[in-house]
Amino acid sequence: MTQNLADASGPASVTAAEPIAASAGASRGWWRDAVIYQVYPRSFADSNGDGMGDLPGIRSRLPYLRDLGVDAVWLSPFYASPQADAGYDVSDYRAVDPMFGTLLDADGLIRDAHALGLRIIVDLVPNHSSDQHEWFQRALREGPGSPLRDRYHFRPGKGENGELPPNNWESIFGGPAWTRSVNPDGTPGEWYLHLFAPEQPDFNWENRAVADEFRSILRFWLDMGVDGFRIDVAHGMVKQAGLPDIGGEGDQLKLLGNDVMPFFDQDGVHQIYRDWRKILDEYPGQRIGVAEAWTPTVQRTANYVRPDELHQAFNFQYLGTSWAADELREVIDVSLDSMRPVGAPTTWVLSNHDVTRHATRFANEPGLGTQIRTAGDRELGLRRARAASLLMLALPGSAYVYQGEELGLPDVTDLPDEVRQDPSFLRASGQDGFRDGCRVPIPWSGTEAPYGFGPAAGGPSWLPQPAEWADLSVEVQTGDPTSTLELYRSALAVRREHPALGAGTDVTWLDAPEGVLAFRRDSAQGSFVCTSNTTGAPVRMAAPGRILLSSADTEAADGEILLAADSTVWWAV
């Protein structure tokens, strides 16, 4: 089942791609200030016109990412998968799904990226496999008592005939977290645990074969030359002993992220990362691990990046913050304070493939959560998104950019229900699961869909793109100084150049009018100030220096400036 480089067509490659040569920042850790661009392979670039993005497509667009000025690319899963959850249901961790290409394509992508100075981070999905994974299929076939069943969580049901699930846990995607299996003789059998879709059975990490297999999978991709792993559901692998019921029946989803659950953020999970860190450290070139850990507080997130664990963790508290100066200041302080004791860089993120794009979140009233279905005030949303992105890129540490946010793309809130593929939408009867809206293929060029996403005008795309996206393409925005794309390009260039930007552990807050966030960052070679007006009206204030970059037109005269509504300005001091 496992693909072999030598099996793939084309010249067999026998050596791993070379790691990127040590650069200036490498001694203190390249990831400490890296801007990491998330590619969602289905929706980035389609090389063969089947409507689905693929690895050769990504490979062909690497120069765009180099020119944009990012340091690394994180690829969402492209492994063999029945696609019950868009690839987060992996059936073979060492194979590329034919829909995305071959292992040789992955090898070429890693080599080309390194040649351009870009690092590659791949997604690792260790909490669960696909139900089509060989281990799970064999466990089903062999029936109760099979040792293979211990690699997952199989349990007899409760009730007289085992007709009730073993506990009351609910799936994140809606419905019970247990599904009853069918015995080889066709009778109803044991239940198995799946925190996500029924097609995603959870591994039992107490079983040594599971731990051994993932060590081997890590090495497989490290040997291929990848620079790191984004670890999916990094807070989920260890379950509380005995799998106890939880309180708050019917309301469990709301508890997520507010509490330590018997299946999330258990202390035992950290042993896995201590083990993996040793493997990462065996390889040259600073290979990293990034935790996707939804925890109740940034303080608990910091546990995942203690010195002997992973290198980074996503800052979802920041992602969930509204466009409001006081709230932003608080989350920035808490984030920096939480990471300082463990010595890990703080990270910042506004969008990813699981949440409504920030241009649309900020177009709506605050408090609607991270999956919303209304377009809101587009113009306002874009203005705030540009300001928020500039603020994020000014903060100390590493930042994540989700494909298309550099184009100012909104979420597609009006996708017809028939085209939606989010398993959560289907399971929760359309009450939840609007993640397809941020997964629509991005526009590159031309006036007709799929706007350069695929090779032919009029060709297919797996989700339909809105007609307005013709005006948001890379081609249209390139060279237009007012475009969001050029704003990102300039911001990333300034961020690279300015000595006070990038890595760091603190900011100095400056006095500012109500609703304005102002901070300074210092370095021996010069200081930098960022001012963000989160209010809907222009604010007059003293100019702190010389304007480097601005997300909106800013008037400056006689040492004073009029900071435009919902805007951010970068200053050299």
Tell me which of Ca ion, ligand GLC, none is bound by residue 54, counting a contact when its beta carbon lies within the kind-specific cut-off of 5 to 8 angstroms.
Ca ion
> For ligand GLC, which residue of 233, 319, 390, 442 counts as binding (CB under 6 A)?
233
> What residues contact residue 38 under an 8 Å CB cut-off, 6+ apart?
73, 74, 76, 352, 353, 400, 401, 402, 403
Interaction between residue 103 and ligand GLC (CB under 6 A): no
Interaction between residue 131 and ligand GLC (CB under 6 A): no
Residue with tokens 């993996």: 276
Burial of 555 (0-12, 13-18, 19+ CB in 10 A): exposed
Cβ 448 to ligand GLC shortest distance, Å: 30
d(CA 245, CA 492): 48
483-542 positions binding ligand GLC, by CB under 6 A: none
Is 486 designated active site? no
> What residues contact residue 471 under an 8 Å CB cut-off, 6+ apart?
none
Query: What φ, ψ does residue 339 adopt, rounded to 5°?
Result: -85, -25
Interaction between residue 88 and ligand GLC (CB under 6 A): yes
d(CA 141, CA 367): 47
Tell me which of ligand GLC, Ca ion, none is bound by residue 92, counting a contact when its beta carbon lies within the kind-specific cut-off of 5 to 8 angstroms.
none
DSSP string, 299-351: HHHHGGGSTTS-SEE--HHHHT--S-HHHHHHHHHHHHHHHGGGTPPPEEES-
d(CA 48, CA 102): 13
Q: Which is nearer to ligand GLC, 111 or 230 (CB)?
A: 230
Cβ 229 to ligand GLC shortest distance, Å: 13
Q: Which is nearer to ligand GLC, 85 or 105 (CB)?
A: 85
Extract the tokens encoding 63: 């120069």
Which of these is catalytic: 7, 142, 163, 282? 282
201-220 positions binding ligand GLC, by CB under 6 A: none
Element (H, E) at 557: strand 555-557
Cβ 435 to ligand GLC shortest distance, Å: 7
> For ligand GLC, which residue of 46, 54, 71, 85 counts as binding (CB under 6 A)?
85
Residue with tokens 């009853």: 180
Interaction between residue 232 and ligand GLC (CB under 6 A): yes
Cβ 59 to Ca ion shortest distance, Å: 12
Extract the tokens encoding 422: 């989010």
Bridge partners, residue 230, by sequence: 123, 290
Dihedral of the CA atoms 149, 153, 156, 162 (nearest 10)?
-120
Residue with tokens 């198995």: 192
Tell me which of Ca ion, ligand GLC, none is bound by residue 196, counting a contact when its beta carbon lies within the kind-specific cut-off of 5 to 8 angstroms.
ligand GLC
Q: Which is nearer to ligand GLC, 85 or 436 (CB)?
A: 85
Cβ 87 to ligand GLC shortest distance, Å: 9
The verdict on whether omega for the bond into residue 450 sits within 30 degrees of 0, i.e. cis, is yes
Cβ 238 to ligand GLC shortest distance, Å: 16
Instruction: Write the interaction track for ligand GLC spanning residues 160-199; mark x where CB under 6 A is met and - where it is not.
Output: ------------------------------------x---
Tell me which of Ca ion, ligand GLC, none is bound by residue 354, counting a contact when its beta carbon lies within the kind-specific cut-off of 5 to 8 angstroms.
ligand GLC
Q: Which is nearer to ligand GLC, 424 or 527 (CB)?
A: 424
Tell me which of Ca ion, ligand GLC, none is bound by residue 2, counting a contact when its beta carbon lies within the kind-specific cut-off of 5 to 8 angstroms.
none
Q: Which is nearer to ligand GLC, 309 or 422 (CB)?
A: 422
Q: How far is CA 475 from the centre of its chain?
A: 25
Cβ 132 to ligand GLC shortest distance, Å: 15
Interaction between residue 73 and ligand GLC (CB under 6 A): no
Cβ 389 to Ca ion shortest distance, Å: 29
> What residue number has its CB nearest to ligand GLC?
88
Picking from 297, 324, 294, 293, the residue whose alpha carbon sits closest to that of residue 311 is: 293
d(CA 512, CA 519): 9
Cβ 237 to ligand GLC shortest distance, Å: 12
> For Ca ion, which residue of 33, 54, 112, 202 counts as binding (CB under 5 A)?
54
> What residues contact residue 442 under an 8 Å CB cut-off, 6+ apart?
43, 44, 403, 404, 407, 409, 453
Q: Which is nearer to ligand GLC, 196 or 451 (CB)?
A: 196
Extract the tokens encoding 257: 């992220």
Q: Which is nearer to ligand GLC, 88 or 323 (CB)?
A: 88
Is 514 designated active site? no
Q: Which is nearer to ligand GLC, 173 or 273 (CB)?
A: 173
Residue with tokens 């990490």: 205
14-53 positions binding Ca ion, by CB under 5 A: 46, 48, 50, 52
DSSP string, 251-302: -HHHHTTTS-BTTBS-TTHHHHHHHHHHHHHHSSS--EEEE----SSHHHHH
User: Are the CB atoms for 460 and 377 separated by under 8 Å?
Assistant: no
Which of these is catalytic: 232, 354, 406, 432? 232
> For ligand GLC, which residue of 131, 354, 405, 566 counts as binding (CB under 6 A)?
354
Q: Which is nearer to ligand GLC, 45 or 125 (CB)?
A: 125
Binding site for ligand GLC (CB under 6 A): 85, 88, 125, 196, 232-233, 292, 353-354
Which residues are known to be catalytic? 232, 282
The residues of the shown chain that bind Ca ion, judged by CB under 5 A, are: 46, 48, 50, 52, 54
